[in-house]
Structure 1
């Protein structure tokens, strides 16, 4: 755990040293960006001819051909020319484009898909977990759950903490620097380098989340049977999604940072307590802090 935290701090220092500042950038969009219409229909103006329009429909793919600034436009000064074909092309305000188009890049498609459907997925996963939990309780079988009846590993709780931090960072960008997230949405990357610091930290938290998740799987399937591991993963998934929604909602109202500080303290206290047990009783298998008499079954461990 200490090595993992040290690596996180080192990478954060490295990415913080490279903060790109693009002077004169007028738009999150760039020329030759591929987009896809997700609205039912979109009207494009055939400028400079006034009141002349061409229409795109859901699923149509276009490319950004040109950007221009109309300083006299009181609605949106940035206009974007997109082309579907040689015959079908026209201009649209950037604000309207953002509302009706999604980049065809796989990362942006994932962000758009998750943003539109995560609430329903959360409800489904949560109620599946509750149903399975009630069924197992009814059958009087023990259910292991992160924090309450956890496995012998600090990684599941650390995974929930990472999800809380990622959600807080995501919502912080939405509240304080929405243009940064919009720029990333139209110019996605998996690299934490050559992006603004807050994006570097966010992307870094995602990579660390993946690494810790692999560590969870390794510990989980070594300690539990496959069926018990599946139930535990379902519960862990529900906990992570709950953390995601809870910290997004509370950060939007600026109290999420206080909850995050409290949650961090609780998690590290629990993880430090778990790491304090260096031995395991040879009779009952419970973790003990030192050799000698087991406080649970009374067996002598030497």
Structure 2
């Protein structure tokens, strides 16, 4: 057991003690013109993560003004409408010190040859970087609760349908759900998950969620920089180590997930594969939410260690179970009534 946890422990310590910030070169060729309106290009890029020529895609409609606020009278304001799903490019950036709402104004141009100015706060709240990874991060952040509820509801529906097909008694649902979820450590799922892969999947998603929560809690500016300039390459020299570890853990999660599904397809019928996959997806989302939020209240790391110990202990306990139901061939922990088909084993 100790040999298993030592690598994870040193990996965790290394990620905490390592540099967490992007390294920005100290350039001397700053683009800055005279006047209070103009912006230092390098300093703005470091603080705001984008500059002229940056591409965005709108998520909601908003209005543009044709001129900066200090250069027109109120009755001369001309508004231009930008619709959702339009591609924009940043054309210019200016400071407007007299604006009490937002002193940074951004000039954008659309595919329809529309150009105008908008406050930075409005722009960033209604647009996302056009990179597919950035759009995925934005969509997932805004809908992860809905995704979890949908997956959980679909999983319960599939379990109920499976019970009806097998003529199971309604009171056996709680027992079936308990064995299916495995208390968030699927070591003994109906004989289908006797392999180490589901447990590795849960260990990976919990560790990845803890890393993500740590980035959000201690170095949120690092995640913002990644949001504006994403990459799927964990070996990129521009990435801080903690972010490289997080990206590597996401790749590891996807690889293990594919391995779990392939392993299930060799062991179970298709409907069983769907039910088990949905249950495992629910567990992964629960682990993601629990460990992401627990880091915010400083209990994420000890909780992660406790969970890893529990998950591996449960796998080792279930791994050595050799009993099989004589009717459905599912693995059972003891003789008696089979929790899956109801047959009596003596």
SS of residue in 2 equivalent to 1:64: strand
Question: How far has the Cα of 1:180 moved from its partner?
Answer: 1.8
Question: How far has the Cα of 1:54 moved from its partner?
Answer: 3.5
SS of residue in 1 equivalent to 2:233: coil
Pick from 126, 141, 147 the counterpart of residue 115 of structure 1.
141
Q: Deviations over 1:77-131 (max 9, x none)?
A: 5443322268632333433322111122211221222222222221121012123
Aligned residue number for residue 99 of structure 1: 125
Asked if 1:233 is matched to 2:268, the reply is no
Where do 5+ consecutive residues of structure 1 fail to align?
Answer: 288-294, 297-302
Q: Could you say if the C-alpha distance between residues 135 and 286 of structure 1 is closer, same or farther in structure 2, counting changes exceeding 3 Å? A: closer
Q: Could you say if the C-alpha distance between residues 42 and 270 of structure 1 is closer, same or farther in structure 2, counting changes exceeding 3 Å? A: farther
TM-score, normalising length: structure 2: 0.68
For the residues of structure 2 that align with 1:177 and 1:17, how far apart are their CA atoms? 10
SS of residue in 1 equivalent to 2:223: helix
SS of residue in 1 equivalent to 2:117: strand
For the residues of structure 2 that align with 1:125 and 1:81, how far apart are their CA atoms? 41
Question: How far has the Cα of 1:273 moved from its partner?
Answer: 4.5
For the residues of structure 1 that align with 2:218 and 2:100, how far apart are their CA atoms? 24
Q: How many residues in Structure 1 have an aligned counterpart in Structure 2? A: 284
For the residues of structure 2 that align with 1:13 and 1:181, how far apart are their CA atoms? 19
Superposed counterparts of 1:285-300, under 5 Å:
none
Pick from 58, 63, 66 the counterpart of residue 42 of structure 1.
63
For the residues of structure 1 that align with 2:134 and 2:145, how far apart are their CA atoms? 18
Q: Could you say if the C-alpha distance between residues 264 and 6 of structure 1 is closer, same or farther in structure 2, counting changes exceeding 3 Å? A: closer
Question: How far has the Cα of 1:207 moved from its partner?
Answer: 0.5
Aligned residue number for residue 258 of structure 1: 302
Where do 5+ consecutive residues of structure 2 fail to align?
Answer: 27-42, 336-346
For the residues of structure 1 that align with 2:78 and 2:330, how far apart are their CA atoms? 74
TM-score, normalising length: structure 1: 0.76
Which deviates more, 198-207 or 17-26? 17-26
SS of residue in 2 equivalent to 1:126: helix
Flag the structure with larger Rg.
2
For the residues of structure 2 that align with 1:162 and 1:263, how far apart are their CA atoms? 12
For the residues of structure 2 that align with 1:283 and 1:134, how far apart are their CA atoms? 22
